[in-house]
Amino acid sequence: MSDITFYTRETMENVPYNKFFEIFSCDKWSLYHYVSLVIDNYKFAEKKKAHRTFFNTLDDINDNHGISQEVRNIAQNLVKRRK
């Protein structure tokens, strides 16, 4: 593997897709806001991966009973809108 390929791969893997959920309060979460933030700020971010990560994270939040019901309700509503 060339140095460039390694760097690109490493950089692509370092896009902090999940940071959004730590930075923004749950009342600010939206797919549009999430994808815009990731794509606009990270050169190697992938829209398809951003979509997948957004909804996988919401599913994880829904399944975590250690998270408040309010946050889980917001996550659940966002997942429902996807369908």
Give me the domain span that covers residue 44. Answer: 3-82
Confidence of residue 3 (pLDDT cuts 50, 70, 90): very low
Residues 6+ apart with CB under 8 A from 9: 1
Total domains in the fold of the chain? 1
Residues 26-81 have pLDDT tens digits of 999 999 999 999 888 888 888 998 999 999 999 999 999 999 999 999 999 999 99
Taking the C-alpha atoms of residue 40 and residue 26, their distance in angstroms, rounded to an integer, is 21
Q: Which amino acid is at 60?
A: D
pLDDT of residue 4: 42
DSSP element (H, E) containing 7:
helix 3-13
The model carries a pTM of 0.77
Following CA atoms 16, 54, 28, 33 in sequence, which dihedral angle do they give, to the nearest 10 degrees?
A: 80
